[in-house]
Structure formats: structure tokens, C-alpha cells
Amino acid sequence: MSLVPREAVETARPYVLGLFRIVVGLLFACHGAASLFGILGGAKGGGTVAALSWPGWYAAAIQLVAGGLVLVGLGTRTAALLCSGSMAYAYFSVHQEHALWPLQNGGEASVLFCWTFLLIAATGPGSLALDGVLGRRGRTAAVRVEQPPAVA
């Protein structure tokens, strides 16, 4: 016997996914903003990453732009896949060489962001996303165009 009716869980699912996407996108975009502009405590160790430096500046740009896209739900699956890949790259190129396990090599955030964005890419944006709003408008317009005219 379940404490929460199945219908209530299914009704809440898109909203929970949407809120999850918003929080994760915001946190990721904040990492990028901190590294690029020195706000919110700046890059690791303080300050900013050098412009166009590899891979720091590019990672921060992906974090800010793609994280912002995930936040608002625009091009969500593609942006989330890019974020996931960038975190996988960060883990294997920066953290993995220091130790095997994320707890030992300081890569917990990279691993969590990687798998979180992969989940968002697989499940979609949920509710409260610009993808859904723009997609609904397009489908509604297409439906209106496809309807045959009424015969008098």
C-alpha cells in the first residue's frame, strides 16, 4: 500500500522534473559566472580564468551558456548533453589522475553534474520550460493549418 496515490505522483512528475532542471541549471550557470566574472567567490582559488585559456575558459563558457539554457528550458536535451560531456571530460582529465574514487580525487561535483545532466538529457525538461511553450505554439499552429475548411 502506497502512502501517495499513483495519480498524484504522475501528476507531479513533470513539475518536479522542471524544478530539478531549474535548480541544476542555475547552480551550473553560477559556476560558469564565478569562473568568468569572479562573482560569487570567483574561480577556484579566487579570481577568474584567463580569457580563451584551455580548458578552463571554455569549460566556464559551457557552464554559463549551456547551464543557462538548461535553466530556462531552451534546447534542454542538447544543452544538458553538452554539460554532461563537459563534466565527464573534467573528471577524466583533471580528477581521475589523482586517485581512483571521486571522494579521493575531489571529483564528486564533476561526477554528480555529469550524471545529473545525462538524466535531464534522457528525461527531458519537464514543466516550466521554454521548449514546451514554444513547442506547443508550433503544434497548435500546425493543427489549425491542417484542419480542412468547413463546407457550408
pLDDT value of position 102: 87
Average pLDDT over residues 95-100: 87
Cell of 75: 534546447
Q: What one-letter code names the amino acid at 39?
A: I
Cell of 80: 544538458
Spell out the residues 6+ positions from residue 31 whose beta carbon is closer than 8 angstroms to its own: 60, 63, 67
Q: Cα(81)–Cα(134) distance, rounded to whole angstroms? A: 20
Element (DSSP H or E) covering residue 137: helix 130-146
Q: Is the pLDDT of residue 147 over 60?
A: no
- Domain positions in the chain are 6-146
pTM tops 0.75, yes or no: yes
pLDDT value of position 50: 77
Q: Cα(144)–Cα(146) distance, rounded to whole angstroms? A: 6
